[in-house]
């Protein structure tokens, strides 16, 4: 039987994250699990028992990717895990951490669950993003949360035409447009005024950013829809596209960004099936005092 293998991803710039990563790595190694990390992180761990691999193939042969950090680090973990269809388990060391499964005070429980293989897998929709100019593909990327088309110049609005399913929807002078997944509905799209969408809902979102128009409401479309954003030639300074705030593509005037549902999801490891409502209340610290509904067994009583 081959040795079990886990990829450990952490925020190397944070002392707390590095210290915790060292502890987790040692506990997993002591349990007979091989721990690997990307070459650009191995120096932070300073442990001879951790195997260093190139980032592009870091998750290959692993059964799980364990991420210690905030949302940005978890998105990086998704970049490493997704090409190899490996589930990712996030431990939140940041602020909100919607993608994380556990908080840092439950780290010992996480390690024990990894050793005992006690997790379930939840698939999250991703976006396939294609950029064309004059009918020629100039870039291709993907996103777990969102693809955003944004203005470059602070003193100029971005002039775009948005299309859904091959039909024009509206022309906007705006700061940008976000195409998001349900997972991304609690990220950038939420900050721009979009709705919160439960993760199991199959849908895509279109959220304008500071649009100067009578019709500038966020809309929810079919998961089979194609969303297209044309950067009109009237934009003298062009635009940029960000995928998950991590991958940047410059968009000259005349560029077209097409967004559809990607066939490859991101797989999240879940230790327990908590209702999304509870997650929403906890992450946003929503006031629920006065609720008189029936408590579930093991409920912490946060509603009181």
Domains annotated on the chain, with CATH: 5-118 (3.40.50.10330), 127-261 (2.60.200.30)
Both structure tokens of 146:
């969102």
Contact 270, 122 (CB under 8 A): yes
How far is it, in rounded angstroms, from Cα 51 to Cα 187?
33
The alpha carbon torsion through 200, 206, 209, 213 (nearest 10 deg) reads: -140
Residue 302: the pLDDT is 40
Q: Which residues contact 152 (CB under 8 A, 6 or more apart)?
A: 237, 238, 239, 240
Give catalytic residue positions. Answer: 71
Could you report the per-residue pLDDT of 127-136, keeping only the tens digit for each? 999 999 999 9
Q: How many CA atoms lie within 13 A of 225 on its CB side?
A: 22
Could you report the per-residue pLDDT of 283-298, keeping only the tens digit for each? 899 999 999 887 666 5
Could you report the per-residue pLDDT of 106-123, keeping only the tens digit for each? 889 999 999 999 999 999
Q: Could you give the angle at which helices 107-115 and 15-30 cross, rounded to 10 degrees?
A: 30
How far is it, in rounded angstroms, from Cα 42 to Cα 10?
10
Alpha-helical regions (H) of the chain = 15-30, 42-45, 71-81, 107-115, 188-191, 276-284
Residue 93: the pLDDT is 86
Q: Is the pTM of this model over 0.85?
A: yes
Task: Give the chain's residues under pLDDT 50.
Answer: 301-304
Contact 87, 81 (CB under 8 A): yes
Residue 303: the pLDDT is 36
């Amino acid at each position: 039987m081959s040795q079990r293998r886990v990829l450990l991803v952490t925020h190397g710039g944070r002392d707390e994250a590095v210290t915790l990563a060292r502890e987790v790595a040692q506990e997993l190694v002591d349990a007979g699990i091989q721990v690997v990390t990307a070459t650009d992180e191995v120096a932070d761990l300073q442990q001879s028992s951790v195997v260093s691999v190139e980032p592009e193939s870091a998750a290959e042969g692993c059964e799980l990717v364990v991420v210690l950090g905030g949302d940005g680090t978890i998105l990086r973990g998704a970049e490493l895990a997704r090409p190899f269809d490996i589930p990712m388990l996030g431990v939140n060391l940041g602020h909100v951490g919607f993608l994380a499964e556990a908080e840092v005070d439950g780290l010992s429980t996480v390690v024990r669950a990894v050793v005992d293989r006690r997790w379930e897998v939840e698939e999250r929709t991703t976006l396939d993003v294609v950029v064309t100019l004059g009918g020629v593909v100039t870039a291709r990327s993907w996103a777990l949360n969102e693809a955003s088309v944004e203005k470059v110049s602070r003193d100029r609005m971005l002039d775009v035409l948005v299309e859904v399913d091959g039909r024009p929807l509206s022309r906007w002078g705006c700061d940008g447009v976000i195409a998001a997944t349900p997972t991304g509905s609690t990220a950038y799209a939420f900050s721009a005024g979009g709705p919160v969408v439960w993760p199991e809902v199959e849908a895509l979102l279109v959220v304008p950013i500071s649009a100067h128009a009578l019709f500038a409401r966020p809309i929810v479309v079919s998961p089979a829809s194609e969303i297209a954003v044309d950067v009109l030639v009237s934009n003298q300074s062009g635009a940029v596209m960000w995928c998950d705030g991590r991958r940047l593509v410059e968009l000259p005037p005349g560029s077209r960004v097409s967004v559809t549902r990607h066939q490859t999801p991101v797989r999240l490891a879940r230790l327990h099936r908590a209702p999304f409502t509870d997650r929403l209340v906890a992450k946003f610290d929503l006031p629920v005092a006065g609720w008189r509904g029936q408590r579930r067994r093991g409920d912490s009583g946060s509603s009181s």
